[in-house]
Amino acid sequence: APRAWYDRLSNFLFDKGFSQEKINTTLFTKTKNEDMLIVQINVDDIIFGATNEILCKEFAKDMQVEFEMSMMGELNYFIGLQIKQTKDEIHLNQTKYIKDLLKRFEKESSNPAVTPMST
């Protein structure tokens, strides 16, 4: 079933003019004039972004017509990464992932150690 889903989705993207990246075959891109739309697939999660908000809205509409899909809004967490977006910057961290690992291995009370590099 996952392979059939991926094939259906990738064929849909090809029909919409997307190109598949050669190294990361779950990454699709589409350029329109000077703008670019990027779509990343991870199992049944899809994240996308563009240099032009209109491209994002058109893509979301196309996807909702073709597939049963819910829009989750701005990306905050994806494959272990926490994402904080501002107007000018995007900040990534793995604080939640690290805390979950410490809890899983019962190391929450361990003492922190200085990392010999700048943060």
Contact in structure between 48 and 56 (CB atoms under 8 Å): yes
Is the confidence at residue 109, as pLDDT, over 70?
Answer: yes
- Residue type for position 6: Y
The whole-chain average pLDDT of the chain stands at: 87
pLDDT value of position 98 = 87
Separation of alpha carbons 8 and 2, rounded Å: 10
- The helices-and-strands tally (H runs, E runs) of the chain is 3, 7
Separation of alpha carbons 97 and 93, rounded Å: 9
Position with higher pLDDT, 118 vs 42: 42
pLDDT value of position 47 = 86
pTM: 0.70
Contacts with 100 (C-beta within 8 Å, 6 or more apart), sequence order: none
Mean pLDDT of 66-79: 79
Is the confidence at residue 11, as pLDDT, over 90?
Answer: yes
